[in-house]
Structure 1
Amino acid sequence: MISDIIIHQVEHYGYLIFFLAFCLGPFGIPVPNEVTLLTGAILSNKGALNPWLVYISILVGLFIAITISFAAGRLFGEKFNKKLQENRYFEKANNLFKKHGDLAMCLAFFVPIVRYMFPLLVGLSNVSFKKFALISYSSAFVWTSTFFVFGKFVGSHLGDMLNPLFDQKMLLLLIMVASSSYIVLKRRSNP
């Protein structure tokens, strides 16, 4: 059964899976970050994983991803700028940055996909790394901690409500089905 495979992967590679999901997110991992955060929080709430290690794995992976994206924008700005002009997510991020500047760097973390495009845009805009790091890393911390705490809260209440009906494997399967449905619906709505 697929839930057994996923649980085995989490048990065997647990923290690395969360790190890679965030570190490789901008490079085509098709799992929404929110689902990954909530899954990590729920599993750590159930005692399957250490919550501190899950959260640190997620946060470090995100820091690495946005730093690489910023550096790519800084180093390859002209090449990226021409190719990204036709990307709708890049256009959303660009409009957000033009309109709101530094505040947009904070808000970008709350918008899926844009959170990875935005550091590239900031790098293209020649913002200093010090300013980028201060604003982006603190915003990433707020965004991830908000979702993680929410996931721990939901996980404890969801576990109490569903405990007689579901075990941990069923909860993980439910999360996988919900995230797969989200991905399919998102792809169909964006041809």
Structure 2
Amino acid sequence: MEAEVLLQAVMDYGYIILFLWLWLGMFIAPVPNEIIVSTVGFLSGQYLHPMAALLTAYIGIIASITTSYFAGRLIGYPVLHWLQRKGPSKSVQIASSIMDKYRVYSLSFSYFIPGVRNIVPFLFGMNRLPFQKFAMLAYSSAFVWCSIFFFSGLYFGQFSKDYPWEGIAFIVLLIGFVMYIGMVTLKKIAANKNVKENETRHQ
């Protein structure tokens, strides 16, 4: 996504478009939320009100994961059966493995893992986790995640004129690091799941 596109959309329609982008974008758009929130932070250093932009982005994110949670509560099993008929979903399998290993505390870090960040809330909703517990763990994790990428983008926006290459390097390294940690975590979980499945077959 180009910064100009998001800026023009916000200028034309207000902060509501930013909210909708982060709320519904996870379900219909392939753009990673890391890029969206970093772009919002970048624009806040020059064109948008930082606190209004941060609050709008955060509300959009928690709306997205809350939608996933209640979708799991209301239509979880029919959707899961439909996915199973299509074939095993790797993202669902990984999310299930994370939940099996870390239980409810997986909500504290699942948003940092691309590919499963909205599936974990869906599965917890399907399993009828009390909403208060879900909100306490998932919303706090989302706030930390949102703040990291927002303020990284804000830093880049403020210092890009004087230190353009340093700012670019900082953003690229941060996003790359978080995504690398997420991918390594996914590979380890998938490897542990395969080992357990093999051990079960040989028993």
TM-score under structure 1 length normalisation = 0.76
Question: 1:159–1:19: structure 2 CA closer, same or farther, 3 Å change rule?
Answer: farther
- 1:71 is aligned to 2:73: no
> Which residue is equivalent to 2:81?
82
Which residue is 1:37 aligned to?
37
Change (3 A) 1:4 1:99: closer
Segments of structure 2 that go 5 or more residues without pairing to the other structure are 173-203
Q: Please list the CA deviations of residues 103-124 of structure 1 after superposition, one character each: whole Å capped at 9, or x if unmatched.
A: 2111111012311111101112
Question: Equivalent of 1:154, from 153, 156, 161?
Answer: 156
Aligned to 1:160, the other structure's residue is in SS state coil
Q: In the aligned structure 1, how far is the partner of 2:128 from the partner of 2:7?
A: 43
Q: Which moved more, 1:32-41 or 1:87-96?
A: 87-96
Deviates more, 1:110-119 or 1:78-87: 78-87
Q: State the identity as a percent.
A: 35
Distance 1:50 1:77, change over 3 A: same
- Alpha-carbon distance in 1 for matches of 2:112, 2:5: 31
How large is the RMSD of aligned CA atoms in angstroms? Answer: 2.4
Mapped to 2, the partners of 1:3 and 1:34 lie a distance apart of: 13
**Native 8 Å contact 1:18 1:36 kept in 2:** no
Residue identity matched to 2:119? M
Superposed CA offset, 1:1-29 (max 9, x none): x8766543232235223211211033212
How many residue pairs are counted as aligned between the two chains?
A: 163
TM-score, reference length from structure 2: 0.72
- Report Cα offsets for 1:117-157 as digits up to 9, x if no partner: 11101112221111101111111111111211222223223
After the TM superposition, which parts of structure 1 deviate over 4 Å for at least 4 consecutive aligned residues? 2-7
Relative contact order, higher structure (CA 8 A, sep 6+): 1
Segments of 5+ residues of structure 1 without an aligned counterpart are: 164-170, 176-191
